[in-house]
C-alpha cells in the first residue's frame, strides 16, 4: 500500500476517484429520493432505477473507445459534461420548471457517461502499477468507491432533510469539476492500440507474429513469447473482420468490439455470467424499492442508512479480499453467498432498523470480496491492449439484468409492497450459492494467485 501511495500518477487517479465518488454517492441518494418525493410511487422509483442502471448493459460498446482513446482525456471530458448536466436540476428548480421527467432524463445520461469512466479507470490501473500490486490497487479503489458511499450515503439522508435534495445536485456539480482537475494532472502510458481517433489502422494482438512491442513489467507480452490459443483465435477473428487496408473507422470499431467478445469465449467467466445475472436482477429490484422500504422503516434517514449498509458491506469485503486471496475461490464464493443470503433474510425479518442495517452490512461483504478478486484476475491475465474491451463486455453482460430487476421490483412493489420484493431478492443470494456449487468449473476454481489463465481447462 505504501509503495502505491508513493506513485504520483496512481495517487492522482485515486484522489480523482475519491472526489467523484463523493458526488456520485450524494447524487444517487438525492436523485432517488427526489423521484420518490415528487411522485410517491414505487413504480417511478423502479423506473428511475431502470434508467440509471440500463446504460451498464451498453458498456461493451464503449470498450473499443477506451482502448483507443487517450484515457486522461476520457476522464476529464466525462467529468466536465456530467457536472453541466447535474446543474440543470437546481437551475430548473430555481426557475420553477423542475419535474420528475427532467430528473429521469438526467439520471440515465450521467450513467451512460460513466460507461466510459469506469472501464477507463480499470484500464489505467495496470499501466500505472506493477502486476504484483494489482490486488492492493483494486482494494484501494474499492475503498474509494465503497468507503465514500458508506459515509456519504448516510450523510446524504441527513442532508436531504436539512437542505433538500435539489441543493445536493449543486454540490455534486462542484465535485465533478474538482475530479476533472485532478484527472487532468495524470500521465497514463499509452499502448500501441491507443489512438486519438478511430481512423487509425487496427493493431494486432499482443503475441501475434507481426507485433513489434517490448515486454512490460505489468504483464504485457513480448513478441518472442508463445502465442496462446485464445489469442490466436481472436487474431483470426480480427483478420476476418478486417476486409481491407481501407477499412473505415466504423469497421475498425466493430472489429475491436468483436475482438473483446471473442477473447472471452471458452473462459470460466462465461459460466459465472448466469449467476451474476440472477444476483444483479435481485440487486436491481432492491435498489428500486429501497426508498420506499427505507421510508417504511426509518424515513429518509432510514433510506440513507440502508444505502450506507450496502456500501459498508462491500467495503469490508473489498478490504478483506487481500486476506482471502489464498483460499480456493470456488469454495470461498459458495460459503460466502450462502451466509449472505441468510443475513439478508434475517435483516428483513428482524424489523428493527439498527439490526436491519447491521445484517445488511454482513449480506454485502461477499460482493466486495468477489468483485476485487475477479477484477484482479482479469487485469493480471488479459493483455493491456484488450483490457478496456474485455472489462466493458463483462460489465455489460453481468449488469444487463440489473435495470430489468429495478423495473420489475418497482412495478411489483406498487402491488404487493416493498417488503415482499426485498425478501425475494434475499432468496436470490441463496440461489447464487446453489448455482456456484452445482457448476464443477466454478466450484473447483483455485486460489486467485493460482489462476494464470481464464480458460476452463
pLDDT band, very low/low/confident/very high, at 289 (cuts 50, 70, 90):
very high
- Taking residues 202-223, what's their average pLDDT? 35
The answer to whether residue 58 scores a pLDDT higher than 60 is yes
* Greatest mean pLDDT among 151-165, 168-182, 206-220: 168-182
Q: Return the pLDDT at 158.
A: 73
pLDDT band, very low/low/confident/very high, at 231 (cuts 50, 70, 90):
very low
- Taking residues 287-312, what's their average pLDDT? 83
The answer to whether residue 247 scores a pLDDT higher than 60 is no
* Greatest mean pLDDT among 61-65, 77-81, 186-190: 77-81
Q: 285 with 271: CB under 8 angstroms?
A: no
Furthest-apart CA atoms within the chain: distance in Å: 66
- Taking residues 338-355, what's their average pLDDT? 92
pLDDT band, very low/low/confident/very high, at 229 (cuts 50, 70, 90):
very low
For residue 170, CA distances in Å to 52, 257, 393 come to 19, 37, 33
pLDDT band, very low/low/confident/very high, at 249 (cuts 50, 70, 90):
low
- The count of other CB atoms within 10 Å of the CB of residue 7 is 16
Which CATH number fits the domain that encloses residue 278? 1.20.1250.20
Instruction: Supply the DSSP symbol for 215.
Output: -
14 inside domain: yes
* Range of lowest pLDDT (232-246, 275-289, 399-413): 232-246
456 inside domain: no
Q: How many CA atoms lie within 13 A of 455 on its CB side?
A: 8
Q: Which residues contact 412 (CB under 8 A, 6 or more apart)?
A: 285, 420, 421
Q: Cα–chain-centroid distance for residue 215? A: 29
454 inside domain: no
pLDDT in tens, 74-109: 889 999 999 999 999 999 999 999 999 999 999 999
For residue 42, CA distances in Å to 267, 347, 411, 440 come to 39, 21, 7, 40
Q: 116 with 78: CB under 8 angstroms?
A: yes
- Taking residues 214-229, what's their average pLDDT? 37
B/e letters for 74-103, b = 16+ CB within 10 Å, e = fewer, are bbbbbbbebbebbbbbbebbeeeebebebb
171 inside domain: yes
233 inside domain: no
∠ CA(328), CA(333), CA(337), 5° rounding? Answer: 155
206 inside domain: no
- Taking residues 417-445, what's their average pLDDT? 92
DSSP, residue by residue, 30-41: HHHHHHHHHH--
Number of compact structural domains in the chain:
1
The answer to whether residue 207 scores a pLDDT higher than 80 is no
> 88 lies in which domain range?
2-188+266-448
Q: Return the pLDDT at 45.
A: 93
pLDDT band, very low/low/confident/very high, at 246 (cuts 50, 70, 90):
very low
- The count of other CB atoms within 10 Å of the CB of residue 57 is 19
Task: Collapse the DSSP code of 383 into the 3-class scheme (helix H, G, I; strand E, B; otherwise coil) and give the result.
Answer: coil
Burial class for 386, CB neighbours closer than 10 Å (0-12, 13-18, 19+): buried
The answer to whether residue 205 scores a pLDDT higher than 70 is no
pLDDT band, very low/low/confident/very high, at 28 (cuts 50, 70, 90):
confident
CA–CA gap between residue 452 and residue 281 (Å, rounded): 30
* Greatest mean pLDDT among 64-78, 181-195, 261-275: 64-78
More confident residue, 452 or 39: 39
More confident residue, 3 or 112: 112
- Taking residues 231-245, what's their average pLDDT? 43
245 inside domain: no
Q: Return the pLDDT at 351.
A: 78
The answer to whether residue 367 scores a pLDDT higher than 70 is yes
Q: How many CA atoms lie within 13 A of 250 on its CB side?
A: 0
261 inside domain: no
Q: Return the pLDDT at 212.
A: 35
Set of cell numbers at residue 274: 448466469
More confident residue, 161 or 325: 325
The answer to whether residue 200 scores a pLDDT higher than 50 is no
From first CA to last CA, the distance across the chain in angstroms is 34
Residue 267 phi/psi, 5° resolution?
-100, 160
Amino acid at each position: 500500500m505504501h509503495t502505491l501511495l508513493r506513485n504520483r500518477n496512481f495517487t492522482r487517479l485515486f484522489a480523482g476517484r475519491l472526489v467523484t465518488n463523493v458526488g456520485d454517492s450524494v447524487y444517487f441518494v438525492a436523485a432517488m429520493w427526489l423521484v420518490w418525493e415528487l411522485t410517491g410511487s414505487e413504480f417511478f422509483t423502479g423506473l428511475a432505477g431502470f434508467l440509471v442502471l440500463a446504460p451498464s448493459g451498453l458498456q461493451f460498446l464503449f470498450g473499443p473507445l477506451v482502448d483507443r482513446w487517450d484515457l486522461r482525456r476520457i476522464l476529464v471530458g466525462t467529468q466536465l459534461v456530467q457536472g453541466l448536466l447535474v446543474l440543470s436540476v437546481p437551475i430548473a428548480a430555481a426557475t420553477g420548471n423542475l419535474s420528475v421527467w427532467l430528473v429521469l432524463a438526467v439520471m440515465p445520461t450521467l450513467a451512460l457517461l460513466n460507461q466510459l469512466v469506469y472501464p477507463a479507470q480499470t484500464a489505467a490501473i495496470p499501466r500505472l502499477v506493477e502486476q504484483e500490486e494489482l490486488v492492493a490497487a483494486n482494494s484501494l479503489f474499492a475503498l474509494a468507491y465503497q468507503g465514500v458511499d458508506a459515509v456519504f450515503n448516510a450523510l446524504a439522508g441527513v442532508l436531504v432533510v436539512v437542505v433538500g435534495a435539489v441543493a445536493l445536485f449543486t454540490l455534486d456539480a462542484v465535485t465533478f469539476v474538482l475530479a476533472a482537475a485532478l484527472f487532468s494532472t495524470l500521465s497514463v502510458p499509452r499502448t500501441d492500440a491507443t489512438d486519438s481517433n478511430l481512423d487509425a489502422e487496427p493493431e494486432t494482438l499482443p503475441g501475434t507474429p507481426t507485433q513489434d512491442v517490448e515486454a512490460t513489467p505489468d504483464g504485457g507480452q513480448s513478441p518472442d513469447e508463445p502465442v496462446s490459443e485464445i489469442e490466436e483465435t481472436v487474431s483470426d477473428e480480427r483478420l476476418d473482420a478486417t476486409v481491407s487496408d481501407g477499412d473505415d473507422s466504423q469497421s475498425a470499431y466493430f472489429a475491436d468490439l468483436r475482438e473483446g467478445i471473442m477473447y472471452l469465449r471458452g473462459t470460466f467467466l462465461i459460466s459465472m455470467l448466469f449467476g451474476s445475472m440472477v444476483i444483479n436482477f435481485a440487486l436491481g429490484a432492491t435498489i428500486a424499492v429501497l426508498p420506499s422500504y427505507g421510508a417504511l422503516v426509518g424515513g429518509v434517514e432510514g433510506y440513507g442508512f440502508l444505502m450506507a449498509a450496502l456500501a459498508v458491506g462491500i467495503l469490508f469485503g473489498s478490504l478483506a479480499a487481500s486476506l482471502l486471496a489464498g483460499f480456493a475461490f470456488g469454495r470461498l464464493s459458495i460459503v460466502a453467498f450462502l451466509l449472505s443470503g441468510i443475513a439478508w433474510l434475517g435483516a428483513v425479518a428482524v424489523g428493527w432498523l439498527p439490526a436491519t442495517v447491521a445484517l445488511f452490512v454482513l449480506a454485502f461483504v461477499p460482493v466486495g470480496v468477489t468483485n476485487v478478486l475477479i477484477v484482479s484476475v482479469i487485469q493480471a491475465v488479459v493483455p493491456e491492449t484488450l483490457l478496456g474491451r474485455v472489462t466493458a463486455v463483462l460489465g455489460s453482460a453481468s449488469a444487463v439484468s440489473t435495470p430489468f430487476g429495478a423495473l420489475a421490483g418497482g412495478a411489483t412493489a406498487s402491488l404487493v409492497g416493498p417488503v415482499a420484493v426485498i425478501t425475494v431478492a434475499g432468496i436470490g443470494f441463496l440461489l447464487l450459492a446453489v448455482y456456484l456449487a452445482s457448476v464443477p468449473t466454478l466450484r473447483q476454481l483455485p486460489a486467485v494467485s493460482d489462476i494464470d489463465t481464464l480458460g476452463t481447462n
